Chain A
Amino acid sequence: MRRWTPYWLALPAWLWLAIFLVVPIAAMASVSLTTGNLIDGFAQTFSVSNYSDAIAKYSTQFLRSLLYGGIATVIMLVLGYPVAYWIAFKAGHRKSMFLFLLLLPFFVSFVLRTISWGFLLADDGILFGTLKGWGVLPEDFHVLATTVAVIGGLVYNFLPFMILPIYVALERVNPTVIEAAYDLYASRFATFRRVVLPLSLPGVFAGVLMTFVPATADPINAQVLGGTGNTMIGNIVQTEYLVNNNYPTASAISFTLMAVLLIGIFIYARALGTENVLEAAAR
């Protein structure tokens, strides 16, 4: 009897996983293998043509999303690491204030924040209108409705999710380890490269995970800040589901995206030499 106690105790967790993860995913998998339309119903045909059709039809948007997500993630890493480093090592007793400032914009809804960028970056808006008035920028200069705006929006919206995990990892670096490196005649750069950076890698891993995945799947930035030819795969899922009511195709795209992202993450985890993905993410 006692032997089973741990399993009984874990039961709520298993139920949680079953109800909120396994069942929805299974239902989505099932829908992705149906054919039909909303009026006549969707029949379970186990036909995989939904997948091949969706990939063939939307390969451009798939690749574009991965590209935008990837570029945005790299930019976030380049911008975010120094910020996290500075807050962790140099901010002293003001650390919590800086972390609060970092999170402050998140008290406003995601969509509203993105729409405000639309106002700030308007062709004749506060910023560019003024600069154009001074003759600094040419009359037809614009940022909205371009790739730059979409990637910029992604970077802005997800940046704290990159900074926070890196900060947590850096915060845990024991200062005596760094002192030891100096004692052993390591230069400042060598200390960073051989001591601090490796110790912060789990944070970098978690940060990349938390930004690349949502940035790649995000529909809002492309819709609000993008122009023609900036449609991302999230927008396609939305259209297929809400406008075309084509539930099988929408599910197939979602699944494909999930698979691509998971494979990418595993390759990345191994490349980083992380022993175990889940362990690193949990740290």
Chain B
Amino acid sequence: MNNPLLRGLTQSRYSRRDAIRVAGFSAAGLALAACGVQGQKAAAPAPSAAADFWSTQKKNGTVVFANWPEYMPEDQAPLKQFQQATGISYEYKEVIQENAEFFGKSEPQLRAGQPLGYDIIVMTNGIQLGKMIQLGYLTALDHKQLPNFAANAGAKYKNPAYDANNTFTIPYQAGVTGIAYNTKYVDEDITSIQSLFDKKYEGKVGMMADAQEIGNFGMFAVGVDPDKSTQADWEKAAAKLKEQRDQGIVRKYYAQDYIDAVAKGDIWLSQAWSGDVFQRQLAGEPVKFVVPQEGGTIWIDNMAIPKGAANPVDALMLMDFLYKPEVAAELTAYIQYVTPVTGVQEILAAKDDKDSKALADSPLIFPTDADYAKLRSYRTLTNAEEPVFNGLFQTITQG
């Protein structure tokens, strides 16, 4: 028996006392730490509490705005105008990349009652925004200080299902999830969601990794309205998406980087957000965007004031300022998503340059009523439904 492998595996070098000692330490540590994590579910705030809160707040002359990348003109003109008009200095931070990631990182801080350091945050209607509201991490807005919102917000953007009476949020921008394709490689006009499931595009289709985004498209493909879907519908959609995956049609499930892949030709068509595609078109890349006839999703990015924000009054003033039509028009001209502010289309149409006129005429920036009829919202998931829904679609994207 001179085999070092066997010798090494069979000889004992650790005494029983060592083992007991290690076990003892572990148990002590465990006992020390055993406490679980407290639930934070908040009762709906009494209206009087919100009024009391706002009556004690004053303008501080400064505001910190946390937003997504490429969601503000590069010269920050709207913010500069705000500073001139109100004397409030601003800090603008592009720190939000994904709702889930942003929530996951902020949650422990908010739970501990620490301020995030931001006065305004922007989050999409969906699971994480729902959790922020449920957990009481957002400050109820004082609508008395939001006159522009009351006057200029489009009817479709008031009193949404996910936040009754806009208690905690008002929309920043909205957008549509549809299909983007590279016209250099795809020589037909894509109109149907079935193109994403077409064997012809094997290995050239991109889908989104987000459970709600991919789940919605799975449901459109099997003819279900996500907003009214049941668990049985989700399972049907998941089966359809699994088949798409197993046939090798999907190349990858993307987070944010799908648009690069479409532009480079790694994939030929993909689930996509409308504004991403417009920005590429302006850069002269051969990409097209379409809302499939079976339906697309409309989502809304919302401004909110996190609990513990240092400058809530200044935040409200900025939020309201962005609801002035001429300010909103500047935002739209750069961001090219759907604006919740009425009157922007008229302002852009009245401008002299060609780009503004093109924007004003685009049905994807100003969807017509017929377009809106094709668009569906994310389904609001209950706490019991969420793990089921996520589980079903994550086994596909993360298999």
Q: Are A and B interaction partners?
A: yes
Tell me the A residues contacting B by CB distance below 8 Å: 22-23, 25-27, 29-31, 33-34, 36-44, 60-61, 118, 122-125, 140, 142, 144-145, 223-224, 226-229, 231, 235-236, 239, 241-247, 267, 269-273, 276
CB distance from A173 to the nearest CB of B (A): 21
List the B residue with the shortest CB-CB distance to A29: B30
* Interface of chain B, main secondary structure: helix
Which residues of chain B are within 8 angstroms of A271 by Cβ–Cβ distance? 4-5, 8-9
The interface size of chain B toward A, counting residues with CB under 8 Å, comes to 48
CB distance from A277 to the nearest CB of B (A): 10
List the A residue with the shortest CB-CB distance to B108: A247
Which residues of chain B are within 8 angstroms of A145 by Cβ–Cβ distance? 251-252, 266
What's the Cα separation between A40 and B7 when bound, in Å?
Answer: 52
What's the Cα separation between A61 and B399 when bound, in Å?
Answer: 8
What's the Cα separation between A140 and B41 when bound, in Å?
Answer: 52
Which residues between 190 and 234 of chain B lie within 8 Å of chain A, taking CB atoms? 203, 211
Are B9's CB and A39's CB within 8 A?
no
Q: A26-B30, A271-B9 are in contact. Are A39 and B40 (CB under 8 A)?
A: yes
Q: Which of A26, A40, A239, A267 contacts B39 (CB 8 A)?
A: A40
In the A-B complex, list the 8 residue pairs whose CB atoms are closest, starting with the nearest: A41-B39, A270-B8, A26-B29, A242-B104, A30-B33, A273-B4, A243-B100, A26-B33
Which residues between 132 and 153 of chain B lie within 8 Å of chain A, taking CB atoms? 134-135
Are A23's CB and B266's CB within 8 A?
no
B45 within 8 A of A: no
Q: Which of B37, B38, B397 contacts A31 (CB 8 A)?
A: B37
Are B29's CB and A22's CB within 8 A?
yes
Are B36's CB and A242's CB within 8 A?
no
B264 within 8 A of A: yes
Which residues of chain B are within 8 angstroms of A227 by Cβ–Cβ distance? 250-252
Q: A41-B40, A239-B394 are in contact. Are A29 and B264 (CB under 8 A)?
A: no
Are B250's CB and A228's CB within 8 A?
yes
B398 within 8 A of A: yes
CB distance from A231 to the nearest CB of B (A): 4
Would you list 22 pairs from A and B whose C-beta atoms are within 8 A, ordered by A residue?
A25-B29, A26-B29, A26-B33, A30-B30, A38-B135, A41-B38, A41-B39, A42-B37, A44-B36, A125-B264, A142-B203, A145-B252, A229-B399, A231-B399, A235-B398, A243-B101, A243-B211, A244-B394, A245-B107, A267-B9, A270-B9, A272-B4
What's the Cα separation between A228 and B399 when bound, in Å?
Answer: 7
B26 within 8 A of A: yes
B265 within 8 A of A: yes
Are A39's CB and B252's CB within 8 A?
no
What's the Cα separation between A235 and B105 when bound, in Å?
Answer: 16
B117 within 8 A of A: no
Q: Which of A39, A42, A123 contacts B41 (CB 8 A)?
A: A39
List the B residue with the shortest CB-CB distance to A31: B37
B324 within 8 A of A: no
Which residues of chain B are within 8 angstroms of A37 by Cβ–Cβ distance? 383, 387
What's the Cα separation between A40 and B131 when bound, in Å?
Answer: 11
Which residues of chain A are within 8 angstroms of B255 by Cβ–Cβ distance? 223
B245 within 8 A of A: yes
A44-B35, A228-B245 known; 14 other A-B pairs, CB under 8 Å? A29-B29, A30-B35, A42-B36, A60-B399, A118-B257, A140-B203, A145-B251, A227-B250, A228-B252, A231-B399, A239-B394, A267-B9, A269-B8, A273-B4
Are A122's CB and B39's CB within 8 A?
no
Question: B251, B253, B398 — which one has the most chain A CB atoms within 10 A of its CB?
Answer: B398
Are B264's CB and A243's CB within 8 A?
no
CB distance from A122 to the nearest CB of B (A): 5
Question: B29, B38, B131, B251 — which one has the most chain A CB atoms within 10 A of its CB?
Answer: B29
List the B residue with the shortest CB-CB distance to A58: B398
Q: Which of A27, A244, A267, A270 contacts B387 (CB 8 A)?
A: A244
CB distance from B267 to the nearest CB of A (A): 9
Question: B7, B8, B100 — which one has the most chain A CB atoms within 10 A of its CB?
Answer: B8
Which residues of chain B are within 8 angstroms of A27 by Cβ–Cβ distance? 33
Are B383's CB and A40's CB within 8 A?
yes
List the B residue with the shortest CB-CB distance to A229: B399
Q: Which of B9, B29, B39, B131 contacts A36 (CB 8 A)?
A: B39
Which residues of chain B are within 8 angstroms of A241 by Cβ–Cβ distance? 104
Are A236's CB and B398's CB within 8 A?
yes
What's the Cα separation between A227 and B236 when bound, in Å?
Answer: 23
List the B residue with the shortest CB-CB distance to A24: B33
